[in-house]
Amino acid sequence: MAEKQGLSRQLKTVFTESDRLANVVREALKAHYGIRAEKLVEFGMQPFRGRKLAKTAPETPGTPQPPGPVTPQAPGPTPAHPTPTLAQPTARGFVERSQKLRTTIGPITPDGTDRRSVESMW
């Protein structure tokens, strides 16, 4: 029984090594001839022939045609103060958040250290 297990292990390692060797040979052929070369077909490999273009739906005779070119409408009046979006934070919101942060963390010196920790060092 042990002899069969040993042979099974050997067979598995041989198959693994042969798969690795086959991959190396395939990659070497692609490197030598190029990925688009029709010569790869002789070795049982498929050359890269490009991507397929998306098919457009064929027009049927009974399909109504869309109307002619559409002229763009003039935009409406621009408000004097545009509403802020997420990309444009308001100055007031920034000031409120920074004040809230200061009360939570405490004052910070320009060099980035906390004033309380600097004062406690003296």
Res 19: pLDDT: 96
Residue predicted with more confidence, 72 or 47: 47
Residue 108: CB partners within 8 Å, gap ≥ 6? 102, 114, 115
Cα 23 from Cα 11, distance rounded (Å): 18
Could you give the percent of the chain with pLDDT greater than 70?
47
Residue 87, pLDDT > 60, answer: no
The band of 85, judged by pLDDT with boundaries at 50, 70 and 90, is low
Asked if the model's pLDDT at residue 103 lies above 70, the reply is: no
Domain boundaries, the chain: 2-43, 95-121
- 55-66: pLDDT as tens digits: 876 666 666 666
